């Protein structure tokens, strides 16, 4: 059996982690197995499922807790004690440089650094120096540089690197078949139980943090409520900003207009409860949930931070700048609320044309792993 070590922060229900699980569930695990090296002591959302599928969750310290040298040693210990590994595949932004040093030190032939975002919020002088050093180690020690979008690749590897033969655009994948097989009965009952039948339902899925910009969504709801619109917002997810968002909801007096669902396993059903999907990210690698929203036939209103690669080119992408302001975004929602749903046939064809199907992505990844 061939084994690959994925290096992540923690296997919570974020875009990168969900993509990895979509791959993991669909590979032939009798021939290829994944282990997941995670940082910190906490448990991840997907940990139990990973163990049931035959993978290992291996925990080490965060680099900022122990330093560069000790981080390299801890990863090296994992490689020696849990391998042999055909490949080491790092998803930890610039900390991937540490993983690549360890992988090369331990004679791993296939060493992959994977870019999933276009920015982070730590751009002080110390951080810039760290980025420059880690980018050097990433480009020097990786045998393959993958990115979910061109801008993500430039951000992590630098402009020169994306013309290197090691660089490859790797499409994210979603479980689109699950989205097509939603339950109409669930949708009917959920809308009835939450008084959504007569409302305009805005949807958003994402970790509650500054980058996803849920505060802007609450401003939109406040504005539309002030215009006497029957508006509801489904906020699917959780995160460090939950308490702050709850306080804003109370301050804006929009408690009856916002439904905080928490982290859900039935996103395929919830997408079909929405009229418009709104995604006002401040920065974003790709936006995996946008592929899911389009697969459900939803019109999407997106910020300038969203990459072109996330567009299935079926007429559902509507781009606005955050600087256009709340009123412009609210008006676009009202304009799109009655958009007819596309057929699943048209969406499937778009997914195939853009190489976002599970089969296409796994085939490409198996070639990278040389399986």
Structure confidence by residue, pLDDT tens digits, 214-226: 999 999 999 999 9
Do residues 209 and 241 make contact, with C-beta atoms less than 8 angstroms apart? yes
Do residues 339 and 299 make contact, with C-beta atoms less than 8 angstroms apart? yes
Q: Is residue 168 located within the same domain as residue 213?
A: no
Instruction: Tell me 136's DSSP state.
Output: H
Q: How far is 208 from 214, CA to CA, in rounded Å? A: 7
Instruction: Tell me 256's DSSP state.
Output: G
Q: How high does pLDDT run on average in the chain? A: 93
pLDDT tens digits for range 85-111: 999 999 999 999 999 999 999 999 999
pLDDT tens digits for range 153-207: 999 999 999 889 999 999 887 777 788 889 999 999 999 999 999 999 999 999 9
pLDDT tens digits for range 225-271: 999 999 999 999 999 999 999 999 999 999 999 999 999 989 999 99
Q: Is residue 8 located within the same domain as residue 112?
A: yes
Neighbouring-strand partners of residue 231: 200
Q: Is residue 46 located within the same domain as residue 121?
A: yes
Q: Which helix (H) or strand (E) holds 320?
A: none
Residue range 328-352: average pLDDT?
Answer: 92
Q: Is residue 253 located within the same domain as residue 340?
A: yes
Q: Is residue 153 located within the same domain as residue 22?
A: yes
Q: Is residue 123 located within the same domain as residue 260?
A: no
| Res. 368: pLDDT tops 80 | yes
Structure tokens at 142: 């990786």
Do residues 144 and 111 make contact, with C-beta atoms less than 8 angstroms apart? yes
Q: Is residue 193 located within the same domain as residue 324?
A: yes
Q: Is residue 7 located within the same domain as residue 144?
A: yes
Q: Is residue 195 located within the same domain as residue 239?
A: yes
Kindly tell me the burial class for residue 323, based on how many C-beta atoms sit within 10 Å of its own C-beta (0-12, 13-18, 19 or more): exposed
Domain of 78, CATH number, reads: 3.40.50.2000
Q: Specify the pLDDT at position 120.
A: 61
Q: Is residue 316 located within the same domain as residue 194?
A: yes
| Res. 122: pLDDT tops 70 | no
Q: Count of domains in the chain?
A: 2
Q: How far is 19 from 260, CA to CA, in rounded Å? A: 23
pLDDT tens digits for range 45-93: 999 999 999 999 999 999 999 999 999 999 999 999 999 999 999 999 9
* Domain that residue 294 falls in: 176-352
Q: Is residue 9 located within the same domain as residue 148?
A: yes
Do residues 330 and 224 make contact, with C-beta atoms less than 8 angstroms apart? yes
pTM above 0.85, yes or no: no
Buried/exposed 336-356: b ≥16 CB within 10 Å, e otherwise: bbeeeebebeebeebbeebeb
| Res. 315: pLDDT tops 90 | yes
Q: Is residue 129 located within the same domain as residue 275?
A: no
């Amino acid at each position: 059996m061939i084994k690959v070590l994925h290096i992540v922060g923690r296997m919570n229900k974020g875009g990168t982690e969900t993509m990895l699980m979509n791959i993991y569930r669909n590979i032939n695990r009798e021939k290829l197995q994944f282990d997941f090296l995670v940082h910190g002591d906490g448990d991840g959302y997907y940990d139990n499922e990973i163990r049931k599928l035959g993978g290992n969750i291996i925990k080490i310290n965060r680099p900022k807790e122990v330093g560069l040298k000790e981080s390299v040693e801890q990863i090296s210990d994992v490689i020696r004690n849990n391998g042999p590994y055909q490949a080491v595949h790092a998803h930890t932004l610039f900390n991937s440089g540490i993983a690549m040093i360890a992988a090369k030190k331990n004679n791993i032939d296939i060493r992959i650094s994977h870019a999933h975002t276009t920015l982070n919020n730590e751009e002080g002088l110390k951080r810039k120096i760290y980025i420059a050093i880690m980018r050097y180690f990433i480009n020097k020690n990786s045998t393959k540089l993958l990115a979910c979008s061109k801008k993500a690749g430039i951000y992590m590897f630098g402009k020169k690197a994306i013309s290197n033969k090691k660089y490859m655009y790797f499409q994210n994948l979603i479980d689109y078949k699950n989205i097509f097989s939603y339950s109409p009965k669930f949708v009917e009952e959920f809308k009835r139980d939450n008084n959504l039948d007569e409302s305009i339902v805005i949807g958003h899925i994402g970790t509650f943090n500054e980058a996803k910009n849920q505060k802007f969504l609450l401003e939109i709801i406040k504005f539309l409520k002030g215009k006497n619109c029957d508006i509801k917002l489904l906020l699917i997810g959780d995160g460090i900003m939950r308490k702050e968002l709850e306080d804003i909801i109370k301050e804006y007096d929009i408690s009856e207009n916002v439904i905080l669902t928490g982290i859900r396993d039935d996103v395929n059903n919830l997408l079909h409860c929405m009229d418009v999907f709104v995604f006002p990210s401040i920065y974003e690698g790709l936006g995996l949930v946008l592929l899911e929203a389009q697969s459900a036939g939803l019109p999407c209103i997106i910020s300038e931070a969203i990459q072109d690669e996330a567009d299935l080119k079926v007429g559902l992408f509507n781009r606005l700048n955050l600087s256009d302001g709340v009123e412009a975004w609210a008006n676009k929602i009202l304009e799109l609320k009655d958009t007819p749903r596309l057929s699943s046939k048209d969406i499937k064809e778009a997914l195939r044309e853009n190489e976002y199907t599970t089969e296409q992505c796994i085939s490409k990844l198996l070639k990278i792993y040389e399986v």
